[in-house]
Structure 1
């Protein structure tokens, strides 16, 4: 039997780490699109009534560039929260992450991460604040897809590791 070098010292440890980046990028795209749709649909209809077609095209181009920057920034933030909340759960679940009940656990973990992010930001503000449900829904648009996509990416990474071994 020939020697095959491997980067994985213990089976099941590297797959959850490698799944963070693809899941965070996908969740950032979904979250930005959902939040952009909420903003677009809540704008008054007469907001752009006086704009010329050239101004509208310029606004659309600037909005597209801004959305691309927000996706990149959100990917880093989501990767951070997946490292804190998703990675320990994936390590604890191990091979049981493929079980259908693990999807519920992943989504509960994502909801807790969203609540933590919103509560932390309201806790750090100087004014007296309460839990903001609107902020929770906006953050949840990133967190819930992140939990779902991260679980899926971990399963795919584990299956690829088994097939290549």
Structure 2
């Protein structure tokens, strides 16, 4: 198989975004358990001792969260599709004055529809995203995290690092 064939055959990975669905006492306890287990892993690493036992406890605590969260998968989209979305959702004159490069009110739901749970039965349409956003299904911070993840997985900017030279 040639390099081109290998590259064309690969599938870019999705990025998970976890959204809490339960805010009851049991969920609070489960999240607190994860926090405590993370602290134990941190302390073990800081002390220079083996972390296997602490990591196993953390893994078990994280597994206990499954009943209290949904994990949305954010998938990259083809570059032309991303560019088309940008073109279809230009900023208003006022947004452009503020330096924005798209109209967030329309680009956000369109990007979420294109990227979140792409190709699955759980993929929502743009209209469904608008409906859920307007209904307050997601907290502002959750929407920001989802949108930023969609932007990040589609970022094609070069990673330029300047040395101290």
Asked if TM exceeds 0.5, the reply is no
Q: What is the TM-score when the length of structure 1 is the normalising length?
A: 0.36
- Tell which has more relative contact order, 1 or 2 (C-alpha 8 A, sep 6+): 1
TM-score by length of 2: 0.36
Per residue, is there more helix in 1 or in 2?
A: 1
